[in-house]
Amino acid sequence: MTPACKRCVGKLWPNECVPSSVTEISRSFAAPFRHPAWLRRVLVGAALEGLPVLLLLPTIAGIFGHGHRLLPRPGLTLLPVAVLVALAARFLVLGYLRRVALDGTSGRPAGLPAWDQPAEDLVEGLKLWLIAMALWLPAAAVTAGLALLVMSLTNTAMAWLPVILVGPPAALATILYLPAGLLSAIVGRNAACAFDVDRVTAMIGRNLGPYLLAFLVAIAAEIVAQFGLLLCCAGIFATRFAAHCVGVYAFATVYRDAAPASVSRAVAVGATTAP
């Protein structure tokens, strides 16, 4: 290992070590389909993606009296249960995508992992969801605070001004930070890593090109996933879940290719350790 790489050990995405290439990141499109059982695993993810829609839409329609005669017309008392089940399904998907990210950063990606750790996926998915919500708080707080300040200094008609001028840049900054922050928490196996702003922003700055390329790959996958509507509409859930996996592999590839070999081996050894 060169002296430059030794200085990189323990850091995420060092620029001095092996850089990401367009070819490696573009391979993220094929990464979810490497395992022979990829179709079954994608369908499980699609079922979890579609479960919130199947639960909440009939419930809301029934509450407002617009339910189809073939659909149940549950009362308001069932809405909290439907919301909890929908959130649990979302947490399972997030926890599974966490294991997809660990597979992508392990140095020997084997394709989509099996759905054999539901309890761990549920807990870790909840953690990632809470981290993501916390990362959105600064943008929401700054925008709301400025709106209230403008309202108090001028009039309520001007409250939209900070929402228009500050809201979009704050949201864009959060969107750019979010994947790196979540990946830092996953790879570092510590939720606090997502809030180490200096470390995460320095990591993004050192690898801005590959990082933006991973965004393009993820966006392209989501656009292609919309063709799932042609598969009797329900196919959108399978294609969107596959697109999520492609995006996760893209960002994981940026980390894996930029990290020194010693860090990659450490990630591979602890790939199943929870953050």
User: Over 90: is that where the pLDDT of 169 sits?
Assistant: yes
Range scoring the smallest mean pLDDT among 61-65, 102-106, 204-208, 235-239 = 61-65
State pTM to two decimals. Answer: 0.80
The stretches of 64-195 forming alpha helices (DSSP H) are 79-105, 118-153, 160-165, 167-188
Range scoring the smallest mean pLDDT among 33-37, 48-52, 152-156 = 152-156
User: Over 60: is that where the pLDDT of 171 sits?
Assistant: yes
- Kindly provide the b/e burial profile for residues 34-48, where b requires at least 16 CB atoms within 10 angstroms of the residue's own CB: ebeebeebbebbbeb
CB atoms within 10 A of CB 66: 10
Torsion sign over Cα 72, 73, 77, 78: positive
In this predicted model, which residue has the larger pLDDT, 162 or 233? 162
pLDDT for position 273: 44
